[in-house]
């Protein structure tokens, strides 16, 4: 092994070893390439990473070509899929660029994104897929786009608050989403909208580094439906970029659960990702489909009153709990 590999590099390499999907593998290799110390001793390794990357990318493209011809539908990867929707120039691509390593085009001219483009956003120990979409306008949402929005796990509405038409942007997007029955009129996510799995929707108010943004933000706050959280953010100054990352995770309504074998330390590698509200039995089912019927008892580290507490089968788990299943 070449000398001077940093902890960041080894971490990225570990993520690659644990990656299950092509997108996760590509994201991990990109990370490895980005953080590898650039010197003579790592040249061969760098070339090797690049070779693996281009092979995976080719594979991905080949799959896309032979797959179903719906240009807006992006195959879901990672712990959840979040699709960005907004007017031209609102800053969608800039957000995807800031939170992932995807090669997005950020441009001052509108319609610079013609097709959806996905990138993997790391949140602590999991990866979440962000999908940059072509813009919607006052008049129209591109034909075929509603399927991709309905199929997402969550939506991020992007509004440029530096612009005096930010209210029109918000209302325009909401109108499309309501007309297409993607959102209920009150923007609540609860049951009532058929045929899709949306668990959340949120507004990113972008470009808050620009002069008019603060005033516009105050106005916009009055009009955002109560069901939608709004996160002000600037990609240029990076203000709130990390807050946005966490809010996107929260929006998906997922929890990360780690497993533990009796008498051994917990496995803090790749967590199981479950829906918020999942119980010990759901966790058992995620580990193995035979487990729920065999499950005798469980112990929890984390959310229980004390570490290692025995809990019933219907105990509701929390993010980052460690579970020891006894079968």
Shortest distance, position 178 Cβ to ligand GDP, whole Å: 21
Q: Residue from 71, 88, 116, 142 that binds ligand GDP (CB under 6 A)?
A: 88
Query: What stretches of the chain adopt beta strand conformation (E)?
Result: 81-86, 117-123, 126-132, 154-160, 200-206, 229-232, 254-259, 267-275, 297-301, 309-311, 322-326
- From Mg ion, ligand GDP, none, interface partner of 80 (C-beta below 5 to 8 A by class): none
Nearer Cβ to Mg ion, position 113 or 240?
Answer: 113
Shortest distance, position 12 Cβ to ligand GDP, whole Å: 26
Nearer Cβ to ligand GDP, position 19 or 177?
Answer: 177
Nearer Cβ to ligand GDP, position 93 or 151?
Answer: 93
Query: What stretches of 10-137 adopt beta strand conformation (E)?
Result: 81-86, 117-123, 126-132
- H/E stretch holding 28 reads helix 22-35
Q: Residue from 42, 90, 93, 122 that binds Mg ion (CB under 5 A)?
A: 93
Using CB under 6 A as the binding rule, the residues of this chain from 131 to 160 that contact ligand GDP are 135
Using CB under 6 A as the binding rule, the residues of this chain from 201 to 240 that contact ligand GDP are 206-207, 209-210, 234-236
- From ligand GDP, Mg ion, none, interface partner of 94 (C-beta below 5 to 8 A by class): ligand GDP
Shortest distance, position 191 Cβ to ligand GDP, whole Å: 31
The answer to whether 206 contacts Mg ion (rule: CB under 5 A) is: no
Q: Residue from 81, 90, 100, 151 that binds ligand GDP (CB under 6 A)?
A: 90
Nearer Cβ to ligand GDP, position 242 or 290?
Answer: 242
SS3 147: helix
Q: Comparing C-alpha atoms, which of 104, 69, 128 is closest to residue 256?
A: 128
Using CB under 5 A as the binding rule, the residues of this chain from 99 to 158 that contact Mg ion are 112-113
Shortest distance, position 94 Cβ to ligand GDP, whole Å: 3
How many C-beta neighbours within 10 Å does residue 16 have? 19
Nearer Cβ to ligand GDP, position 113 or 278?
Answer: 113
The answer to whether 89 contacts Mg ion (rule: CB under 5 A) is: no
Shortest distance, position 69 Cβ to ligand GDP, whole Å: 24
- From ligand GDP, Mg ion, none, interface partner of 46 (C-beta below 5 to 8 A by class): none
> CA separation (Å) from 103 to 35, 59, 113, 257, 285?
17, 18, 11, 32, 37
The helix-helix angle for 241-251 and 92-99 (nearest 10°) equals 90
Distance separating alpha carbons of residues 240 and 232, to the nearest angstrom: 7
> CA separation (Å) from 312 to 29, 43, 258, 272, 296?
41, 54, 18, 19, 9
Distance separating alpha carbons of residues 248 and 233, to the nearest angstrom: 13
The answer to whether 77 contacts ligand GDP (rule: CB under 6 A) is: no
Place of tokens 């943004």: 213
Give the pairing type, strands 81-86 and 154-160. Answer: parallel
Q: Which residues pair with 207 in a beta bridge?
A: none
Q: Comparing C-alpha atoms, which of 274, 290, 289 is closest to residue 323?
A: 274
Contact set with ligand GDP (CB under 6 A): 86, 88-94, 106-108, 112-113, 135, 206-207, 209-210, 234-236
Contact set with Mg ion (CB under 5 A): 93, 112-113
């Amino acid at each position: 092994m070449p000398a001077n590999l940093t902890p960041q590099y080894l971490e990225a390499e570990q993520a690659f070893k644990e990656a299950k999907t092509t997108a996760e593998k590509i994201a991990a290799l990109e990370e490895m390439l980005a953080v590898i110390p650039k010197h003579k001793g790592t040249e061969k390794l760098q070339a090797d990473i690049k070779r693996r990357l281009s092979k995976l990318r080719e594979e991905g493209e080949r799959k896309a070509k032979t797959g179903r011809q719906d240009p807006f539908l992006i195959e879901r990867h990672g712990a959840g899929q979040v699709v960005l929707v907004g007017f031209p120039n609102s800053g969608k691509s800039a957000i995807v660029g800031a939170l992932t390593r995807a090669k997005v085009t950020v441009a001052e001219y509108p319609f610079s994104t013609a097709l959806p483009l996905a990138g993997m956003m790391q949140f602590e120990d999991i990866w979440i897929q962000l999908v940059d979409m072509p813009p919607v306008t006052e008049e129209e949402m591109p034909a075929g786009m509603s399927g991709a929005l309905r199929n997402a796990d969550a939506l991020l509405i992007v509004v440029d608050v530096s612009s005096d038409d930010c209210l029109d942007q918000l209302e325009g997007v909401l109108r499309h989403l309501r007309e297409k029955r993607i959102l209920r009129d009150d923007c609540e996510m609860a049951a009532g909208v058929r045929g899709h799995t949306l668990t959340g929707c949120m507004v990113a108010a972008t470009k808050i580094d620009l002069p008019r943004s603060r005033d516009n933000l105050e106005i916009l706050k009055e009009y955002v439906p109560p069901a939608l959280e709004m996160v002000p953010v600037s990609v240029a100054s990076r203000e709130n970029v990390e807050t946005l990352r966490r809010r996107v995770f929260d929006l998906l309504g997922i929890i990360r659960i780690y497993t533990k074998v009796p008498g051994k330390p917990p496995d803090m590698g790749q967590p199981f990702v479950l829906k918020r509200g999942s119980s010990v039995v759901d966790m058992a089912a995620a580990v193995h489909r035979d487990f729920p019927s065999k499950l005798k008892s469980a112990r929890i580290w984390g959310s229980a009153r004390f570490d290692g507490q025995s809990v019933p089968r219907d105990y509701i788990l929390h993010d980052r709990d460690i579970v020891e299943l006894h079968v």
